[in-house]
Amino acid sequence: MGFNSYEIGHIFGPYEISMDKKTSELYSKAVINRDKNNHTPFALVSISFGKLLAEVELEEGAIHLSQSIEWEKKFNENEKIIAIPKIESKTERRNNIFIKVKITFSDISKNKLGISTSTILITNEGE
């Protein structure tokens, strides 16, 4: 099922993210000029969104329009991070559907680390 099939408020996951050695090296290869021993929150956002896309199909022609991150606390790369994505809103304008996906990040003790918000555009032409 694609993003547009889910209602506002739908929660995915939770996903456990670990910046173990293998994950760190793969991310550092994919994103140039990154230190594999010290990642920014963007690494967590990328990995969690990848996990989300393994669960939800991205509709044909969908575009990732924007990404914002608000980080509150430094994270320990040696500990598991919990990511919980949620459909925050869906707005339709001129045959286009704008879906906001908010991902809340916390440590294993449930201390909030930060959030990211992604906006996805789905063209609703032909329906």
How many helical (H) and strand (E) elements, i.e. helices and strands, does the chain have? 2, 5
Residues making up the chain, counted from first to last: 127
- The structural domains of the chain, ordered by start, are 3-123 (3.10.129.10)
Highest mean pLDDT among 36-40, 56-60, 113-117: 113-117
Q: Find where tokens 């939770």 sit.
A: 14
Q: Which of 89, 99, 113 is nearest to 56 (CA)?
A: 99
Distances (CA, A) of 102 to 22, 45, 120: 27, 10, 11
Tell me the pLDDT tens digit for each residue of 4-50. 999 999 999 999 988 777 777 776 677 666 665 666 677 788 888 88
Collapsing DSSP states into helix, strand and coil, what is residue 94? coil
13-27 as b/e, with b when 16 or more CB fall inside 10 Å? bebebebeeebbeeb
**Model's pTM, two decimal places?**
0.85
Q: Which of 47, 27, 46, 45 is nearest to 37 (CA)?
A: 27
Tell me the pLDDT tens digit for each residue of 72-88. 888 777 789 999 999 99
- Rounded Cα distance between 60 and 121, Å, is 11
